[in-house]
Homo-oligomer: A and B are copies of this chain.
Amino acid sequence: MLIVKKFGGSSVADKECIFRVAERCIEDYRKGNDIIVVLSAMGDTTDELIQKAKMITSDPSKREMDMLLATGEQVSASLLSMAINSLGVPAVSLNAFQVAFHCTSTYGGARVKRVDSQRIRHELDYKKIVVVTGFQGVNKYDDFATLGRGGSDTSAVAIAASLHADLCEIYTDVDGVYTADPRVVSNARKLKEISYEEMLELASLGAKVLHNRSVEMAKKYGVQLVVRSSLNNNPGTIVKEVAKVEKMLISGVASDKNTSRISVIGVDDKPGVAFRIFNTLAKNNINVDLILQSVGRGGTKDISFTIAQDDLNETLSLLERSKELLGISDILHKDNVAKISVVGAGMLSNPGIAAKMFEALFNAGVNISMISTSEVRITVLIDENDVERAMISVHDAFGLAD
């Protein structure tokens, strides 16, 4: 089997961690597998490098920033390679230039274009464990460009796709994908399998086990993913096209507290108004999530929507500046809100999921202020203080418990 293993920064934070990863790779290598390891930078290295840049200037060139950040993975990759070598197994580290990991030109947020398989294949032919720097690519200007947040997951999937790997293992500090955050819902259950679709919804809902770009890519190229712990040998959760139908209709409950609600009051009830508001936000890279528009009355209407809490100040000042232009009479906002979502491919063929969720929330005495649905997801906006209670109640109602 050809296996791609991705380890995050905390998995290579110090000598002990590095040797734990080395031994884990060697274990599978000794079973006769071909092993490619994709690594992030050690522990806080990336933050330290950012600090170095900020020491020079508050607004460093993005091109130079990526040149700087790319060293982080090169350090961890060479050290892991040394560790594997020292345990008697041949290993070689490769950076984005050596792999020829092609990406788009956007510094700090590049997307994968193409990964050459030749050099990696050559090293595998020599029975080496190949350690590849995650997070980085080379763009058309022959410069380093980093892939942005969660980029190493995407690196691993892209390499797995390019080399037609049998498996892409994403190692994290949790055992796999759970039906809910185990820190909130104590009897949450680990899923054996989940479909790409469901994983995508969970990923975008703030279940931080996998970056959604990596799931999108895995889905596109049919890369079988496994999310598992770097601390134990538990089997983890398999992410694939069609997950085995289990008894449950839904596979998980997720919550996201990084949410604010904004209400724009008294805008003209005529075509184009909503477009103008959301266009203003889009142009400033602010993602709008749930949107609720009241039925027009007396020639005006209200529009409520949610955004990430981090974007609140910028959004408010943008709206304030365009108040007259957009015909807004008042802008309200609420900080202490949260999203709670149920995700499941099962809901496609099972009506009544929403009703069941609302019933569970009612039973827990939780008020719903906004609702949004997709094919495999139902999301509601509730008060932040109700999140834990709501999670437990919904989780129970769908029989997800262990």
Contact = CB atoms under 8 A, between A and B. Distances in A.
Interface of A: 15, 18, 49, 52-53, 55-57, 59-61, 63-65, 67-68, 70-71, 74-75, 77-79, 81-83, 85-86, 91-93, 95, 97-98, 119, 142-143
A353 to B, nearest CB: 51
Contacts of A55: 15
Contacts of A92: 63-64
Contacts of A71: 71, 74-75
A390 to B, nearest CB: 46
Given A56-B83, A56-B86, 14 more contacts: A52-B79, A53-B78, A53-B79, A56-B82, A57-B85, A61-B85, A64-B81, A67-B93, A68-B75, A68-B82, A70-B74, A74-B74, A97-B142, A98-B143
Nearest to A98: B142
B57 A86 contact: yes
Given A86-B56, A86-B57, A93 B79 contact: no
A113 to B, nearest CB: 18
A282 B86 CA distance: 29
Given A119-B142, A142-B119, A78 B82 contact: no
Contacts of A49: 75
Contacts of A15: 55-56
B70 A82 contact: no
A74 B143 CA distance: 12
Contacts of A81: 61, 64, 67
